[in-house]
Amino acid sequence: MINHRHFLAFFTLCSLWLGTTVLSSTGPVSTLGASATVGPDTIQPVRAPNGMVVSASTRASQVGSDVLAAGGNAVDAAIATGLALAVTHPSAGNIGGGGFMVIRFPDGTSTAVDFREKAPLASHPEMWLDDSGEYSRTTHHNSYLAVGVPGTVAGFWKAHQLYGDQDWERLVKPAVTLARDGFEITERLAGGLERLIEGRGSSFPGTIQSFSKDGYPYSSGEMLVQTDLGRTLERIAADGRDGFYAGETARLLVAEMERGGGIITLEDLARYQARERTPIHGTYNGYDIISMAPPSSGGIAI
């Protein structure tokens, strides 16, 4: 949102589907810590003169800040942050999902990239019904049939091809390092992983292998190393979009779909395309609002 009363025309804004926001200008970037807490219920806003990266993970935000400091633009920083979130924020920031990116340029114009997941070609309404012909919530929400064709990597790749400045591999490498070398688990992440492996994730061997110690939950302060994810990110770094939608990664994904009764095929992956769209514009209480158009519901809700 741009306030008419305090409009900074030199800013470029890039916002990702999972709450990552990047502001950048042409000046050097200041690296800021967390917001200053004045009292138990009072948090002062953080301000920076030249650039800011905000996400659900401090480590991922630092990756984006480093990209800005190295001369990358807001799109570069958003891509690097989003890929780092695939490692440090597995509950939402992942390369197996999808989302949206809204971009505002220094001249005030804007655009958006839609990389929402899509239904596989073999999808049909009756696949959500049980043997008695009734709707099955379990099938709809917790089965391999519920998995859409992922869009994240295609969306990041398209945004980079259209508006990125820095080398693609440079943007992916920090996420590779975080996955391969590991990072210290926060108390919040430890709790989330414990709930995952004791809940709906307990029936998926890959989840147990990736996010537990032989079936036992991690504790805060321990290191989480994700070797397989690191290998996948290395292929994405080397081959771009094809590092996910073709080759070894695609074959592994389709093999897992077949094992679990899913319907995503190599053709589904090959045909997936991210789309550039026109954002929704509106005003509220003296503010200009730029938000995502359908298929996102957020812009319409605002």
* Structure token pair of residue 266: 């190599």
* Reported pTM: 0.88
Q: What are residue 113's DSSP bridge partners? A: 101, 276
CB 35 within 8 A of CB 21: no
Q: Give the separation between CA 63 and CA 215, rounded to whole angstroms.
A: 31
Domain membership flag for residue 244: no
Count up the domains in the chain and report the number: 1
- Tell me: the pLDDT tens digits for 235-257? 999 999 999 999 999 999 999 99
* pLDDT tens-digit readout, 264-297: 999 999 999 999 999 999 888 999 999 999 999 8
**Please, which residues bridge with residue 282 across strands?**
289
Q: Is residue 59 part of a domain?
A: yes
Residue 15: domain span: 1-116+151-182+227-232+273-302
Q: Rounded to an integer, what distance in angstroms lies between the CA atom of residue 46 and that of residue 52?
A: 9
128/68 Cα distance (integer angstroms): 45
Q: Which amino acid is at 239?
A: D
Least confident of 12-16, 71-75, 78-82, 91-95: 12-16
129 occurs within a structural domain: no
Domain membership flag for residue 6: yes
Instruction: Report yes or no on 28 lying in a domain.
Output: yes
97 occurs within a structural domain: yes
CB under 8 Å to 288, separation ≥6 — which residues? Answer: 1, 2, 4, 281, 282
Is residue 8, in this structure, part of any structural domain at all?
yes
In a domain, 294, yes or no: yes
